[in-house]
Structure 1
Amino acid sequence: MDSDFIELDGVEKVFDVRRRTGFLRRERREVRAVDGISFRVPRGEMVGYIGPNGAGKSTTIKMLTGILTPSGGRLRVAGIDPSRERTKLAHRIGVVFGQRTTLWWDLPLRDSYRLMHRMYRIPDRRFRENLDRCVELLDLGALLEVPVRQLSLGQRMRGDIAAALLHDPEVLYLDEPTIGLDVVSKAKVRGFLRDLNAERSTTVLLTTHDLTDIEQLCRRVMVIDHGRLVYDGALAGLHEVGESERTLVVDLERELPPVTLASDPSVRVVRVEGPRQWLAFPASVSAAPLVARLAADYPLVDLSVREPDIEAVIAKMYASDPAL
C-alpha cells in the first residue's frame, strides 16, 4: 500500500463534444483528455505533475478526487476507488484548485473553517492546533474575519491551502497553488509545504506552471501532454530530454560586442540591447561557472537568471521526436 499509495493503470477520460456545423446540424466528436496514463506514487512523496494548458492535468486530479469517473483503466488512492467511494476518500485527501475556491464566498474565513470543522468531524483540539499552525505559517491572522469575496487572489489561495489541511489529509492535490501570490507569499507557502511533508509524510501531487515550485519542492516530475505521460523522472533529466535552456541576462558597464566564451561553445548570445545581453545556456548546467568567467572577462554591473518555460521544454521534446 505504501509503495503504491496512488496508482493509475491505463487510465483514460473521454469527453463527447458537440459543436454546431450548420443551422440545424451538430457534429459530435470524442476528445481524449487523458489517454492511457499509468504511474505510481509512494506514500510521502512530493511529485510535480506538469504540462501545458489543456494537457489533462486538472482532469487527472479530478479523477483522483472522484469528481470525474474514468472512461477506462484502473485508479486507486490508498486502496480506494475514488469514483465509487468518494465520501470515504474525502476524509483522507485535501484539494486546492487555483482557479476555484472551496471556501464559502460570503462568509469570513473563520466561519468557513468552522463549517469544515463540523463537516469533517475534526476533534476540537486537533482543529485548534491545525488552524493555529496554518494561520501562523500562512499569515492569515488579519484575514480571519474578512469575507472570502473581499480577499485578493493571493489571500484566498492561502486561505484555501489552510482549509485543505484542517482535517489532516494523507494526500494533498495542489492545482496551481501559488497563482496570484507575491514573492514573499510564495516562499511562505513553499516552506509550509516542505515542513508539512517532512513532519507528517503527507503525499503531495503538485501541478503548476511555475518551475520554481517544482525545483524547490519536488524530486520527481511527471510531464503530461495531449493526455499522455511523456516523461517521469528527475527535473534535471527533463531538461536534458527537452534540451531546454536557461537565460542569463547580463548588464555591462557599456555597450560591447556580443559576449564570447571560447571555452564553452554551449553558451550563445541570443539578444543584445545596448549594454544588456541575453545569453542562453543548457538548463542542466550550473550558472555559477558561467557567471565567474563573465565577471573575470567583462565589466559586469548586474545579472539575473531566467528559468525555461515548461511549455517551451515540452515543445522541444515533441520537435525532437515526431512520433510523440
Structure 2
Amino acid sequence: MLRAHLIMNPEARGVTPSLQHLMATALEARFKLGVTETHARDAGVEVARDAVDSGAELLIAFGGDGLVNEVVNGMAGSDATLAIIPGGTMNVFARNLGVPTNPTEAADHILRIAGDTEPRRMSLGLANDRYFTFACGCGFDAEAAARVESHRSAKRRYGEPYFYAAALATFAASYALKKPFLTCEGEFGTEEVVLAVGLVGDAYAYLAGRPLRLSPNGPPDGGLGLFMVRRLSFVHLPRYAFGAVTGRFGPGAVSLADLDEYIVSGDEAVAYHVDGETLEPASKVHVRPAPHSLSVLV
C-alpha cells in the first residue's frame, strides 16, 4: 500500500471541516495515510519534510497556492510525489496542471490514478533559498500580495475578486506616480523597474476562469521567464488591463524567456513573494531555475 501524507490548511477558503473528514476518510481507504493540519505560517514546510523523512511517497496538499508552496519547499529534492486537492482562492498551480478545481473530483482523480500513472516532472524556480511553482514577484506585485494577506477575512469572504481589488488599491495608494525604484540585472543588462515577476509556469493568475499570462509567447518551456514593468501610471491602466488578457503590454513592459538568472535590488529592502506568499524583504532577490524538478501526480 502506497504511503501517503495528507496536509491540510483549515484556514483556506475552500477547506471545511466536512471536506477535511471526507478527504481523510476516502484517502485512508486507498493509502497508508498520515494526516496533518497546518495552523501557522510555513508549518507545511516542516510537515512535508518530516513526512518525507518518515517514508511518505505521496504528499497530498489540500489548500491553496500558499500551502502547495510550503509542501514543495519541504519535499524539493526528494523522490516523493506531490498531489493537489485545490482548496484555496486562486489555485493557480493546480489550474496550470489541469487538476480538477472541485475538491471531491480532485480527490477522486488521485484515487483513480495513484500507482498507475507516471508522475509528471515540473520545473521549479528558486528565489534566494525559496522554491516557487509558478511565479516570484518583486515590487508592486509583492506589495499587492501583502495587502491580500493582511486582510485574510476579506480574502476568504470575497475570493478571487479581492485579489484584483487589492492590486488596484495598492496602485492607487503607492504606485500611481511612483518612479522606478528596483534594479533588475541579468544577462539582458540592467533595467530600472517598479515590478519584476519571475515565471516558471503557464498562467500567472486566473480571472473568472481565464488564465492571465505575462508573456505573449506562452509559458516558459522548462526555463525561467521574466516580466518587468518600468513604470505604472493611470494613463497606462487600460493597456495593462488589456495586456493581462492578451499577454501584450506595450512598450512600457519587458518580457524575456530562457534566462539563467537575474537579481533584483533596491535602495531599500526588496518586497517579494513566491506563489503569492509574501516573504521577509531582502536586500537582494536572486532568482534562477531550481536544480531540482518536482514530481507531480496529474
Q: TM-score range by the shorter chain?
A: 0.3 to 0.5
TM-score (norm 2): 0.33
TM-score (norm 1): 0.31
Largest Rg, 1 or 2: 1
